[in-house]
Chains A and B, each alone.
Chain A
Amino acid sequence: MRHIYVAIWTLAALLLSCVSLSAQTADSTAIQPLLQQHQAVISKSSRKTIGPAIDAIAASGLPQAQQVLQVWAAKDMWMRKSDGHFFIGEKVEGKTYRLTDFDSGDVVGEFQKGDLKQLKPNSGIRALIATALVQFQLTDPDPAARADALQSIARDPSADQLAPLRASINGEADAALAAQKLRLERLLTIRFGASDAERIGAIEDMAGDLGVDLRATLNPVVATVREAAPALPDANIAKTLTIGEDITSTDAYALLVAAKLAPAPVSDDAIRTALADHMDGGRVGDVPVAQLSDPAQRLKAYAGLADAGKVAPLVSEADIAQALASHVIYDRYLDPSPAVTAAAAKSLKGIEVKVALNQTLDLGLDALSLASIYFLAAIGLAITFGVMGVINMAHGEFIMMGAYTGYVVQQIVPDHTLSILIAIPTAFAVTFAAGVAMERLVIRHLYARPLETLLATFGISIALQQLAKNIFGTQARPLTAPGWLDGAWVMNDVVSISYIRIAIFVLALIFLAVFLFIMKRTRLGLDTRAVTQNPAMAAQMGINPGRVNMLTFGLGSGIAGVAGVAIGLFAKVTSELGSDYIVQSFMTVVVGGVGNIWGTLAGAALIGFLQKGIEWLNPSNTLAAQTYMIIFIIIFIQFRPRGIIALKGRAAGD
């Protein structure tokens, strides 16, 4: 008996000393004792058992905890074999390592590698450590580190990040980061919240939000899987499918086969293989091989084999119908809670409506910018073709010349803002000169013969295009926009428009104003209108028609050159740049109504919105969109042969 008492007392004393020891360590600020408590687990380094050790370190509240975890994950933590203590190891030279204490930060000494053991956590353990580190990163004094942590959580959310995230919200000093944290907390709650009520609350909090992240969170919640079963199981069923309406019987039967509820149907390939395998003396069963090119005979031969038990029996239509009749096909939510999926589905529906509205707005902006591009490309034509009636097939090449001028200027002046500012007047001057030369040399002689103007200017177009190819080569040349035009104006996750497109829209408006000003408010405009209406009469009044025609044509060409600089900013500058726009430009002018700048504007708007509209109906196929648009225009011309805004009376001329 005494022995037992002694043993108990000894044990009690031992226990007491242990408790006092642990109490002492808990009070102190050293982390080494904590590591020693889990020494065995840590040095064993197993994914299965390491959890409590990591949690204990993370929850210790000690300032060294983060360093320990980081050093550990980086494989820089070493254990001294003599006493099992852990240190930061650092290679000095050869096999000598310098150890540093976690708590004091002092160098303990230099040791041989043989006396030490390096801890090499595997990827599973490192993932656990990384999760544990999240809470430190979320409260890191550096705001950039906190933002990084938030981003990494948003990229790859998991349930165990929720608690540290919530804990870090209150202490957040930065307002923007606090908002981000709150938003992320709501999103994580939707996915990983502990109770249905909590998750539904989060879903309702976020209702109507347009963020892509919210949709990316809600969509997995309402994800379904299609299954077949003999009877409807007790699960979160989204929908029971009706065969023939929601799903074809072939697909439904394939589901049954996949669920091993029905035998697989014998495919034509399988029949052929089976028949080939059982050929015997020029016959399969009692059917001669020569007759097997007939599908009916093949079935007959296969049925013979099946009756003989050599192959799997055919699955007949009746079998399929019967199998389908005795099973239900349903979509099941992966999420088990009906209340949550219903709330998520309702929220998504609300978001979809808002997204659709915003997409319409976005599409409208896209269409507007496309219309401005067409308007830019066509406005020069509106002068040469619309006002003067000259068909200039080389108009596209003037656009190309403007773009190449921009490129050349950029080679000389490296500053992008300055070079664009120089390029615009230079391009105008170059194409103005080219236009004047062309008018004097060629077009002047052909005013009475419009079809031949078309052909002659086409000859010029071929020559200019090839000339550009010879000078600049066939590869695309860059015309870089200035830095302040990079980026986009983002209204929300759905609606955004790049600054370049806004700039082009503004440029189109400026062109419109310049055109109106010149035509309505200047002497040149008055002369031009007079010469266009009646050259002989204008000449009688003292206007020199040759000079006016020359200047007007030069003006139209110069505007094409400036448009070229703008188009070159977002399109590839190649020798084919102009020919890509020429047909659309003529369409714009013709659809809008020749001889009227508002018509050109209307034409550009119609074509731009139409093309975007068709692209929206069939987003995968911009080629088809262009095809349908041209067909639409051909039909449109049937009903308004003179365009949207037709000149009336004498001005219509022809």
Chain B
Amino acid sequence: MQRSFIARNPSVLIFLALLALFTLVVTVLSEGAGAGFISTSFIKTLGKTLCLCLIAVAMDLIWGFAGILSLGHFAFFGLGGYMIGMWLMYERTRLIVVESLSQTELPPTDAEVIDAIGTQIFGVVGSSDFPLIWAFADSLVLQLALVVLVPGVLALIFGWLAFRSRVTGVYLSILTQAMTLALALYLFQNDSGLRGNNGLSGLQNLPGVTASQDIVSLWFLWASAFALGAGYFLAAWVVSGKFGSVIRGIRDNEARVRFLGYSVEAYKLALFTLTACLAAIAGALYYPQAGIINPAEIAPIASIYLAVWVAIGGRGRLYGAVIGAAFVSLLSTWFTGGQAPDLPLGSYTVKWVDWWLVLLGVSFVLVTLFAPKGIGGLFDLIPTKKGAEE
């Protein structure tokens, strides 16, 4: 008789428990709801890090388990952010406009309200008309659906085109990179309908919510933790069953799996789309905490950093991706935020703001060369009765 999924994967339970514990401790220590040891801005950093962990899990699914090195998952992340950002910006602007128009003598007509919102939002790009893509921006439910649908459909179309013509390996990587570059360049235009390089801003203010940012940041922390937990659970479940066996088979020998009669393309496509949706959800939670999204976020470099996190954390194990994303992105924040102490070297002082990227690049090369299992590989050193997990 098959043992249950949880029993076969104790690491999932451990991870979820640690995540819950982490969230609880942070909440208790937070400025908004507890002892006040952790500032609101750091709560936001932690919440954002959880979102980055979620996209890292998605990346690990597609790269670590299926061997598809996608250099375009931040495009889906950014699109998710844009979709939720459209609603946040529309609704908040609408409330402000209605408030200010209620001061006038005549009650405003609907057309006047929409016109004023359009002027507010698109004034920076010299327009006041709503582009077609904002058609659903007034509805939270529809826009939430679009968070998953738009990146999902994009991934489906792109994946179908790419996998169908058997583009594999580095070619696929370059193609995904081209996709994210094309999207970023498109969004940089002023007439893309998403405010060009101004991006969407003011997303940290939830429309209609009067609670302070101290509290709102905790909500988002919980939401991000929940999303990460659910995403992790889903990913672990996906890779533990037959589906997981097939995609691992594709990673190790695609031709053999195809000859066994599996539709390799369908499996790849399903996984690619699933991970795109996960990335989009992560983005939709990330950008309200960041407060602003612009096309630079989608630049190819972001997706490559994602690969860096997963590689440093350890590919092919989900907790490795989480550790890598959390470790590197927090370290990066610490170094580039100017908090790291400078390192005096006689006549030259190493300023970490300048040298962090050099350190990251070099350590990345070293990890690739000498520790292909990444940080997660350290767990293999713990002796267990049943041998290594997975």
Query: Which residues of A line the B interface, CB within 8 A?
Result: 268, 272, 275-276, 279, 289-290, 292-295, 298, 391, 442, 445-446, 450-452, 454-456, 458-467, 469-470, 579, 583, 586-587, 590, 621, 623-624, 626-627, 630-631, 633-635, 637-639, 641
| B334-369 to A contact mask, C-beta < 8 Å, 1/0 | 000000000000000000001111101111110011
A467 to B355, CA, bound (A): 8
How near does chain A come to B45, taking the closest CB pair, in angstroms?
Answer: 22
Beyond the given A275-B106, A634-B161, could you list 10 further A-B residue pairs with CB under 8 A, ordered by the A residue number?
A279-B106, A293-B109, A463-B360, A583-B174, A583-B178, A583-B300, A621-B189, A623-B188, A626-B185, A637-B165
Query: Contact: B365 with A295, CB < 8 Å?
Result: no
A406 to B354, CA, bound (A): 24
The secondary structure that dominates the A interface is helix
Per a CB cutoff under 8 Å, which of A451, A456, A466, A630 touches B355?
A466
> Among the listed stretches B14-22, B127-135, B285-293, B303-311, which one makes contact with chain A, having 4 or more residues with CB under 8 Å of it?
B303-311
Q: Is the CB of B158 closer than 8 A to any CB of chain A?
A: yes
In the A-B complex, list the 4 residue pairs whose CB atoms are closest, starting with the nearest.
Answer: A463-B361, A459-B364, A462-B361, A466-B357
Query: Contact: B304 with A641, CB < 8 Å?
Result: no
Query: Which residues of B line the A interface, CB within 8 A?
Result: 67, 69, 104-112, 158, 161-162, 164-167, 169-171, 173-175, 177-179, 181-183, 185-186, 188-189, 191, 300-301, 304, 307-308, 311, 354-358, 360-365, 368-369, 372
Residues of B with C-beta under 8 A to A450: 169-170
- 7 CB < 8 A contacts A-B: A455-B307, A459-B362, A459-B363, A465-B357, A637-B165, A637-B175, A641-B167
Residues of A with C-beta under 8 A to B164: 638
Per a CB cutoff under 8 Å, which of B106, B301, B362, B364 touches A292?
B106
Nearest A residue to B368, CB-CB: A456
Query: Contact: B368 with A455, CB < 8 Å?
Result: yes
How near does chain A come to B195, taking the closest CB pair, in angstroms?
Answer: 14
Query: Contact: B109 with A295, CB < 8 Å?
Result: yes
A623 to B186, CA, bound (A): 7
A623 to B182, CA, bound (A): 9
Query: Contact: A454 with B170, CB < 8 Å?
Result: yes
Per a CB cutoff under 8 Å, which of A442, A465, A633 touches B365?
A442
Residues of B with C-beta under 8 A to A634: 158, 161-162, 175, 178-179, 182
Using known A-B contacts A298-B109, A590-B174, A634-B179, determine if residue A467 contacts B358 with beta carbons closer than 8 Å. Answer: yes
A442 to B108, CA, bound (A): 67
Nearest A residue to B359, CB-CB: A463
Per a CB cutoff under 8 Å, which of A466, A630, A641 touches B166?
A641
Residues of B with C-beta under 8 A to A621: 189, 191
Query: Contact: B308 with A295, CB < 8 Å?
Result: no
Residues of B with C-beta under 8 A to A458: 304, 307-308, 364
Cβ-Cβ contact count across A and B, 8 Å cutoff: 147
Residues of A with C-beta under 8 A to B304: 458
A577 to B55, CA, bound (A): 29
Query: Contact: B179 with A462, CB < 8 Å?
Result: no
Using known A-B contacts A293-B109, A637-B165, A637-B175, determine if residue A446 contacts B368 with beta carbons closer than 8 Å. Answer: yes
Nearest A residue to B362, CB-CB: A463
A635 to B167, CA, bound (A): 12
A621 to B304, CA, bound (A): 27
A292 to B364, CA, bound (A): 65
Residues of B with C-beta under 8 A to A583: 174, 177-178, 181, 300
Per a CB cutoff under 8 Å, which of B105, B162, B361 touches A276?
B105
The secondary structure that dominates the B interface is helix
Residues of A with C-beta under 8 A to B177: 583
How near does chain A come to B129, taking the closest CB pair, in angstroms?
Answer: 16
Query: Contact: A289 with B107, CB < 8 Å?
Result: yes
Query: Contact: B170 with A461, CB < 8 Å?
Result: no
A463 to B364, CA, bound (A): 10
Using known A-B contacts A289-B107, A292-B106, determine if residue A455 contacts B311 with beta carbons closer than 8 Å. Answer: yes
Query: Contact: B178 with A442, CB < 8 Å?
Result: no
A312 to B358, CA, bound (A): 73
Residues of A with C-beta under 8 A to B67: 451
Residues of B with C-beta under 8 A to A445: 369
Query: Contact: A293 with B108, CB < 8 Å?
Result: yes
Query: Contact: B369 with A451, CB < 8 Å?
Result: no
Residues of B with C-beta under 8 A to A637: 162, 165, 167, 171, 175
A28 to B365, CA, bound (A): 97
Using known A-B contacts A627-B186, A630-B181, determine if residue A456 contacts B365 with beta carbons closer than 8 Å. Answer: yes
A268 to B105, CA, bound (A): 15
Query: Contact: A459 with B105, CB < 8 Å?
Result: no
A444 to B291, CA, bound (A): 44
Query: Contact: A295 with B111, CB < 8 Å?
Result: yes
How near does chain A come to B197, taking the closest CB pair, in angstroms?
Answer: 10
A524 to B311, CA, bound (A): 36
Query: Contact: A459 with B361, CB < 8 Å?
Result: yes
Per a CB cutoff under 8 Å, which of B165, B178, B189, B364 touches A633?
B178
How near does chain B come to A572, taking the closest CB pair, in angstroms?
Answer: 18
A275 to B368, CA, bound (A): 73
Query: Contact: B109 with A294, CB < 8 Å?
Result: yes
Per a CB cutoff under 8 Å, which of B69, B161, B185 touches A635?
B161
Per a CB cutoff under 8 Å, which of B108, B178, B183, B365 touches A459?
B365
Residues of B with C-beta under 8 A to A446: 368-369
Residues of A with C-beta under 8 A to B368: 446, 452, 455-456, 459
A455 to B177, CA, bound (A): 13
A651 to B8, CA, bound (A): 46
Residues of B with C-beta under 8 A to A293: 106-110
A461 to B304, CA, bound (A): 11
How near does chain B come to A132, taking the closest CB pair, in angstroms?
Answer: 49
A374 to B167, CA, bound (A): 23
Residues of B with C-beta under 8 A to A272: 106, 112
Nearest B residue to A466, CB-CB: B357
Nearest B residue to A631, CB-CB: B182
Most-contacted residue by chain A among B170, B183, B186 (CB, 10 A): B170
A292 to B102, CA, bound (A): 12
A465 to B300, CA, bound (A): 15
Query: Contact: A463 with B357, CB < 8 Å?
Result: yes
How near does chain B come to A60, taking the closest CB pair, in angstroms?
Answer: 60
How near does chain A come to B293, taking the closest CB pair, in angstroms?
Answer: 18
How near does chain B come to A615, taking the closest CB pair, in angstroms?
Answer: 13
How near does chain A come to B123, taking the closest CB pair, in angstroms?
Answer: 18
Nearest B residue to A271, CB-CB: B106
Nearest B residue to A452, CB-CB: B368
A630 to B165, CA, bound (A): 17
How near does chain A come to B305, taking the closest CB pair, in angstroms?
Answer: 9
